[in-house]
Amino acid sequence: MLPSYLMDKLNTEYKDLSDKILMGYQERLTSLRLNTLKEDKDIILEELKRDGLELQSVTWYSNAYIVLNKKEDDIKKLDAYNNGLIYLQSLSSMLPVLALSPKDNEHILDMCAAPGSKTTQIAMETNNKVRITACEKNKIRADRLKYNLNKQGVTCTTILMEDARYLDPFFSFDKILLDAPCSGSGTLTNPDSNNDIFTEERITKITNRQLELLRKALSLLKKDQTMIYSTCSILKEENEDIIKKVMQEYNIELLPIELNISKDNYLPSTLDNVITICPNKYFEGFFIAKIHKL
């Protein structure tokens, strides 16, 4: 049973779509990303086939696959996983990097980088030809980030063990990825374990931090450049409402996001050019906004 606070929010914000969201929490297929920093795509696929994985490709990303016959615990036993040839990652989690569209030689800030899903994806998409600054304030999580970067063959990243809200204003970046800490309202698999998160006090604390992070990101982003703000939440307080606040404070605009995903996966949003993904068997609930600093 969902926490009453969250259920009330879903009924208020999405009305007759709340049942669709609840159904989407029930089942999710495992997905993975091929790591072409380590090996050619066809060679990785052949190894996974020998290991008995039944894979389904997706139309919008050539390195993403849905696993039809194995769970994460089974995949973690494979040599391909332990050697860094694949990365277990939800399909929704892959979208912010595709929306960011990193290019060679750019200096990119990943503000909340651990455990490294998107950091490693940025490096892979550019074949290690970018400069990534990855922030993580917690030592245990920073160590995990470092481990994953090494395992995936990433050589273009500097890790800063620092709260990104307090980065020195000396820094400036060509692009920024802010996958902000959130309530996780889009990713629930065991709703009963999240009662302590979904309270008004807790959501207020989360949104205050998100707003601080986004303001810092916009102060560090170079003019006429773009950044991604994303969360794995579908609550408007953590998404559209945050964007609306900074649009009143900064000279920014929202750019269209081209991801070639069926709009059947989208939830309605109160802003143009943002994406809110409905949780379902393929996708976690997710929010993405592409912000251009004028």
Residue 117 has pLDDT above 80, yes or no: yes
The pairing of strands 274-277 and 86-88 is unpaired
The one-letter amino acid at 2: L
Helix (H) or strand (E) holding 160: strand 157-160
Contact 180, 213 (CB under 8 A): yes
**10 Å Cβ neighbour count for 5?**
16
Output the 3-class SS for 75-143. HCCCHHHHCCCEEECCHHHHHHHHHHCCCCCCEEEECCCCCCHHHHHHHHHCCCCCEEEEECCCHHHHH
Tell me what percent of the residues of the chain surpass a pLDDT of 70: 98
163, with CB counted inside 10 A (0-12, 13-18, 19+), is middle
- What mean pLDDT do residues 14-42 have? 95
The pairing of strands 286-293 and 221-231 is antiparallel
Average pLDDT of the chain to the nearest whole number: 95
Residue 194 has pLDDT above 70, yes or no: no
Predicted confidence at residue 237, as pLDDT, reads 97
pLDDT tens string 58-106? 999 999 999 999 999 999 999 999 999 999 999 999 999 999 999 999 9
Residue 1 has pLDDT above 80, yes or no: no
| Structural domains of the chain sorted by starting position, each given as residue range(s) with its CATH number in brackets | 4-24+93-293 (3.40.50.150), 29-89 (3.30.70.1170)
- pLDDT band at residue 26 using 50, 70 and 90 as cut-offs: confident
Residues taking part in catalysis: 232
- What mean pLDDT do residues 160-177 have? 96
Residue 191 has pLDDT above 60, yes or no: no
pLDDT tens string 269-286? 999 999 999 999 999 999
Q: To 10 degrees, what angle do helices 139-151 and 117-125 make?
A: 30
